[in-house]
């Protein structure tokens, strides 16, 4: 179903660009203005000079200059890339997530091959499309999930790139990548705006090259794959809280006890913990919803999000928030099920961690 294949990547040459740790960055949409300034000051070749430029045409000039001077060099032959990321999650557990970077053919969602699970907004897509029109290069990957084993194993040799817990192996294969994804559907875990921008770009250009994008694909079986919850913190208690269709099944003086009780529940009914200054209540809603859908009934006024329950409860304890709603992490099968029905999740439903590193691989289109 999905068309995935090796590609000729653009990569930094440290001999001309400088140390790799000064060149990479987080994805553009999680970088603050202050972080952007700091990253761009760390090196004249930091990837944010392309992903967060002063202007789109300026990024195109920068990219052309880097390629002309050998700062970025294109691989002579197509390859796929095995990527490992070591990380410690918000739950304090150390993991290693393994994915495969390759070229993905973009298809409309209606084809049923690429499945979204989040709603996008026009502004970010327009910004990214202006940039893509100028640079003709996919500067950052999207993050996709699939069911089944990976088509390539990690090579038994030192990595070709290594930076801050991320290791990359270049692999030239004999069709294993294309064959391995031929009958698979892909779920976009992160990068919906980038994917839809790639679709819009291909509609404009209509070339074989414009119909590809850069993707990192991770098996749902991967031991390091984890979805973390996004707890809701309200500066003021939402008016809809009183009409939330829930049963209070237990009350606790301690949030840790309430979280333990929440973890013991099955997923047949949605559940959440309502944490206020005086107590923690375990709430259970009617069947047919997920935890995030239940708490989304509360609206979004004065809301903030955190994957760490202790941060959510601390905001209430300090008097910075009236109430926090703590939820369970979604299961991978829940996200696939919603996407297959053609539905989308509420805002901030999933938190895939860590984010992919930008600047390791670029995909000319």
For residues 62 and 126, what is the distance between their CA atoms, to the nearest angstrom? 21
| Residue in the block written with tokens 């969602």 | 109
Interhelix angle 56-69/122-135, rounded to 10 degrees, is 40
- The radius of gyration computed from the CA coordinates of the chain, to the nearest angstrom, equals 22
pLDDT value for 53: 97
Residue 233 DSSP SS3: strand
| Residue in the block written with tokens 């084993």 | 149
The string of pLDDT tens digits covering residues 266-296 is 999 999 999 998 789 999 999 999 999 999 9
The string of pLDDT tens digits covering residues 135-165 is 999 999 999 999 999 999 999 999 999 998 9
pLDDT value for 24: 97
Global confidence as pTM: 0.91
CA distances from 233 to 187, 292, 354 (A): 28, 13, 22
- Is residue 124 predicted with pLDDT exceeding 90? no
- Is residue 1 predicted with pLDDT exceeding 80? no
Q: Could you tell me the fold of the domain covering 230-328? A: 3.30.1760
* All structural domains of the chain with their residue ranges: 4-226+352-364, 230-328
The string of pLDDT tens digits covering residues 197-248 is 999 999 999 999 999 999 999 999 999 999 999 999 999 999 888 888 999 9
The string of pLDDT tens digits covering residues 111-120 is 999 999 988 8
Note the maximum CA span of the chain.
66
pLDDT value for 118: 84
> What is the 8-class DSSP label of residue 339?
H
Q: Could you tell me the fold of the domain covering 4-226+352-364? A: 3.90.1530
Average pLDDT over residues 96-104: 98
For residues 231 and 292, what is the distance between their CA atoms, to the nearest angstrom? 9
Average pLDDT over residues 252-276: 94
The string of pLDDT tens digits covering residues 304-354 is 999 999 999 999 999 999 999 999 999 999 999 999 999 888 888 889 999
Q: Percent of the chain at pLDDT above 70? A: 100
pLDDT value for 240: 86
pLDDT value for 164: 87
For 120, residues 6+ apart whose C-beta sits below 8 A from its C-beta are 192, 193, 196
- Average pLDDT, rounded, for the chain: 94
């Amino acid at each position: 179903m999905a068309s995935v294949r090796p590609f000729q990547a653009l990569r930094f040459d440290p001999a001309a660009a400088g140390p790799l740790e000064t060149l990479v960055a987080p994805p553009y949409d999680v970088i603050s203005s202050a972080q952007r300034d700091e990253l761009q000051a760390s090196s004249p070749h930091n990837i944010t000079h392309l992903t967060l430029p002063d202007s789109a045409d300026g990024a195109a000039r920068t990219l052309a200059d880097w390629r002309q001077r050998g700062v970025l060099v294109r691989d002579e032959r197509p390859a796929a890339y095995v990527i490992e990321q070591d990380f410690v999650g918000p739950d304090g557990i150390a993991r290693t997530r393994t994915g495969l970077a390759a070229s993905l053919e973009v298809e409309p969602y209606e084809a049923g091959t690429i499945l979204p699970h989040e709603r996008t907004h026009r502004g970010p897509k327009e910004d990214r499309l202006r940039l893509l029109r100028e640079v003709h290069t996919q500067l950052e990957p999207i993050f996709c999930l699939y069911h089944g084993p990976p088509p390539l194993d990690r090579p038994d040799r030192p990595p070709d790139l290594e930076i801050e817990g991320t290791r990359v192996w270049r692999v030239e294969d004999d069709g294993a990548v294309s064959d391995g994804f031929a009958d698979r559907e892909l779920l976009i875990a992160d990068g919906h705006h980038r994917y839809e921008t790639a679709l819009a770009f291909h509609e404009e250009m209509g070339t074989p090259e414009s119909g590809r994008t850069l993707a990192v694909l991770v098996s749902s079986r991967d031991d390091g794959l984890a979805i973390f919850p996004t707890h809701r913190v309200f500066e003021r208690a939402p008016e809809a809280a009183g009409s939330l269709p829930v049963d209070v099944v237990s009350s606790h003086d301690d949030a840790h006890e309430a979280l333990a009780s929440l973890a013991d529940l099955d997923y047949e009914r949605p559940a959440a913990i309502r944490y206020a200054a005086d107590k923690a209540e375990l709430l259970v809603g009617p069947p047919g919803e997920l935890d995030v859908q239940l708490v989304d009934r509360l609206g979004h006024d004065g809301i903030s999000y955190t994957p760490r329950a202790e941060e959510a409860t601390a905001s209430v304890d300090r008097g910075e928030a009236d109430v926090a709603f703590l939820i369970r992490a979604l299961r991978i099968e829940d996200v696939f099920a919603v996407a297959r029905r053609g539905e989308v999740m509420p805002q901030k439903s999933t938190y895939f961690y860590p984010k992919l590193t930008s600047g390791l691989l670029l995909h000319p289109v």
